[in-house]
Chains A and B, each alone.
Chain A
């Protein structure tokens, strides 16, 4: 047989694969000449992203080296552009002359689409297509603080953005559509992706219409339609590609959007084949690698005169950004007759959506945990009937293969190398090993393997592994969720609010997967407190999430009336204040005036609509809310101390007043009551308070965690201080630590019992820097909350809000 001449235009991934198949199927059948526009041979273009990010080098991604071309007698004409095809004479024309062919393979690939806007020709504006582009980006990143703007939030653009970010550049992604990668992802997955990228320091701007690229002699900035300007040292356009068809068009081959090919990859000229991104098959264009490889296989068969036909397969997409797990395959649009199964684990950033039609899986979008992606992809490609496993389909292959959908059975069935804890990369085998080594509780497994010690979302799985491994010997700890709206505990929620910087109630409920639309009476007040305690300047107190007493700044009584308690600093009052209280009692027909245990006066039985006017009257006499209704600072009870008492050792009244003026208005997990006694006789009963100071000759004994409610408990000694300022500082730090750490509705004694007094002492007494930082954070919070709520609500213009909305009894009487 005579050796035929095969000329290949384009040394990309598709043509490289054609040659591999060809030399394998029929070695020596063709004498091959390979033209490539780039001055180098075939390399794995889709691995340019790791080269950009520095995770791989060019050498790592070369698919065919000089030795391979040699061994297969390929004449390489790299860096030489073919300018014309003369079909009549069967030659291709390049700068160095003519090259004859028997068969011609066009694999010119695609060209990046450059948006036709002003400034697109400026130096520094580029596409992301080949190694030269990659190297240009790497070079640009060498300048400290270099800024890159990537136009296009699709696969390629995001890989460029992530790579440049890893190179230390400041990166902005501009995307025209409402969410990233809209062709592969639905909005929910797009949202998670955007958050992930933003966590990496990439700024994402969706719905961004680029107006112009600005610069004088080189690119300097990008201007958007909305007037936004982003500085840029480099602009990468990655808005799309179009098939590179010029040479085929010039040769009068049939070209529509791409070079039209048959199932055998033959163009309108029987001696010319085409493969890759430059072709159009059955009206369709191709940009992903899997169908290109299929085309290559078919083209090689056609060249060796074997029957083969190209049938486009389903394709799947993965984003090659280290640490971003994203998978999409098939058709995931909503539609008639389609059903979907959705799984969310927001705290772990996992989202899975399967689209079903007629008991077949037709599409899948997975974000965050793509381990099962290929399995789902297989189901889509094979059109597997999934009716039998529908219930557990979303959990992946580990949960299939048996009649039982029991999660325990599924965990038992997991192989030892199955990953349990994604954060710390702990597999099942490591956990069972630890259990065999004596770790029989969750805490022990956590301590030994680190499994479930980071985000905690795999805690359930770890417990199941414990249960499966130990059988009845495993005693599951009683973990009580915060409320029926969530499976998370108060502690989990507090930790996640801090670690994920969740600053609003909708953010908490969305990110932590609340099961209800707006919480319940149990979680809302707790969340409101957690948010205002952690983000005092950013979060705004939500009045509608407060229990009635805190919402109305008065205590509701069994008949729906309220009690009003003005503050008496340190339990000290005056004739003027007492007169004002007496006048208010008369004016508003207060049925009972009572002295409280916290050294102040309670006016009971006040009607709601009278509250604002009564507060205004008390304000006028210089009094403010006593917060007798709040989870916050209640009272500071004092004795008279050195001022009058013959036994007093310090000015206990003065210290009490200072503490109360410092702490009032602060919201706390539960109420906080203080006492300051001037001597160990303890007339202020300070030793059963949340915080109690007993003055002695040498200074101040600060006790904490006392109780005198359903539980009665003496305080424990936190510290001995020698000066008043030190005492105040330690107490302030203690209150702030309690605010930052305790669960809602735990009094300090309960909280201290959980965290241990030594830890509290180490933080607020021994570690001076930590103490000061706590005091500082307390002051920041108090800049918002140290104010009188009565004065705020007593404004005449707001008083109607406290009265009935309408009185129909009057109208009826007319």
Chain B
């Protein structure tokens, strides 16, 4: 069973925007779409490590601000001709609060 942690209110993220959450696993970008859906992805573009949280959010996609790789927020997969995948994390919205999977709290594994 997933344990959820409350990381903030949905209004703290602009619509069609993102905010960063620092975790033991590295930065996670938490996205809010135009229709108020929440997605959490690693804040590192699979291409050259660009901060996805700074990309333009359109529909359920984000465009990396460095070289315009377009990633699907639901699957983490690059779209179109591009290749690559970024890790996605369980995230949900409950009563206006953003909840992330608590395993993000866990310390990085021994490796």
Contact = CB atoms under 8 A, between A and B. Distances in A.
Interface of A: 516-521, 524-525, 543-548, 551-552, 556, 558-560, 801, 804-809, 811-812
Given A517-B34, A518-B34, A518-B58, A809 B48 contact: no
A520 B70 CA distance: 10
B76 to A, nearest CB: 17
A805 B30 contact: yes
A516 B59 contact: yes
Given A516-B59, A517-B34, A548-B55, A809 B23 contact: yes
28 contacts: A516-B59, A518-B16, A518-B58, A519-B58, A520-B63, A520-B70, A521-B55, A543-B14, A544-B14, A544-B17, A544-B57, A546-B56, A548-B54, A551-B54, A552-B54, A558-B66, A560-B54, A804-B19, A805-B19, A806-B22, A808-B21, A808-B24, A808-B105, A809-B22, A809-B23, A809-B24, A811-B105, A812-B107
A544 B22 contact: no
B30 to A, nearest CB: 6
A805 B12 contact: yes
Nearest to B43: A560
A543 B17 CA distance: 9
Nearest to B80: A484
Nearest to A557: B66
Interface of B: 5, 7-8, 12-17, 19-24, 27, 30, 34-35, 48-51, 54-59, 61, 63, 65-66, 68, 70, 104-107
B20 A805 contact: yes
B15 to A, nearest CB: 7
Contacts of B55: 521, 548
B29 to A, nearest CB: 10
Most buried by B among A544, A546, A547: A544
Contact of A812 (B27, B49, B56, B106): B106
Contact of B56 (A524, A806, A808): A524
Nearest to B7: A806
A516 B14 CA distance: 20
Given A806-B8, A812-B107, A547 B56 contact: yes
Contacts of B30: 805
A517 B58 CA distance: 8
Most buried by A among B7, B12, B56: B56
Contacts of A558: 48, 66
A518 B59 contact: yes
B16 to A, nearest CB: 4
A808 B12 contact: no
Most buried by B among A516, A546, A801, A808: A808
Given A518-B16, A551-B54, A804-B19, 18 more contacts: A518-B34, A518-B58, A518-B59, A520-B70, A521-B58, A544-B14, A544-B15, A544-B56, A545-B56, A547-B65, A548-B65, A559-B49, A560-B54, A801-B12, A804-B22, A806-B7, A807-B21, A808-B105
A517 to B, nearest CB: 6
Nearest to A814: B105
A556 B50 CA distance: 10
A516 B58 contact: yes
Nearest to B20: A804
Most buried by B among A519, A521, A546, A552: A521
Nearest to A807: B22
Contacts of B50: 560
Nearest to B15: A544
A523 to B, nearest CB: 9
A524 B68 CA distance: 14
Contacts of B5: 808
A811 B6 CA distance: 12
Contacts, number: 90
Contacts of A545: 16, 56
A641 to B, nearest CB: 40
A801 B24 CA distance: 21
B54 A556 contact: yes
A812 B14 contact: no
A807 B5 CA distance: 12
A132 B66 CA distance: 73
Nearest to A518: B34
**The 8 nearest A-B residue pairs measured at CB:** A521-B63, A805-B19, A548-B65, A521-B56, A544-B16, A548-B54, A806-B7, A807-B22
A801 B14 CA distance: 10
Nearest to B14: A544
Nearest to B102: A808
Nearest to A545: B56
Nearest to B16: A544
Nearest to A810: B22
A518 B34 CA distance: 8
Contact of B23 (A517, A520, A548, A808): A808
Contact of B59 (A517, A548, A801, A808): A517
B68 A812 contact: no
A807 B48 CA distance: 24
A517 B55 CA distance: 17
Contacts of B65: 547-548, 556
Contacts of A552: 54
Contacts of A807: 21-22
A427 B72 CA distance: 46
A516 B15 CA distance: 16
B44 to A, nearest CB: 9
Contacts of A551: 54
Given A521-B70, A558-B66, A805 B54 contact: no
Contacts of B22: 804, 806-809
A519 B8 CA distance: 28
A610 B58 CA distance: 28
A499 B70 CA distance: 33
B58 A560 contact: no
A524 B15 CA distance: 14
A560 B51 contact: yes
Contacts of A517: 34-35, 59
Nearest to A485: B58
A548 B55 CA distance: 6
Nearest to A523: B58
A812 B22 CA distance: 11
Contacts of B54: 548, 551-552, 556, 560
Contact of A804 (B16, B21, B49): B21
A274 B8 CA distance: 73
A710 B17 CA distance: 33
Contacts of A544: 14-17, 56-57
A545 B66 CA distance: 16
Nearest to B98: A805
A805 B7 contact: yes
A521 B68 contact: yes
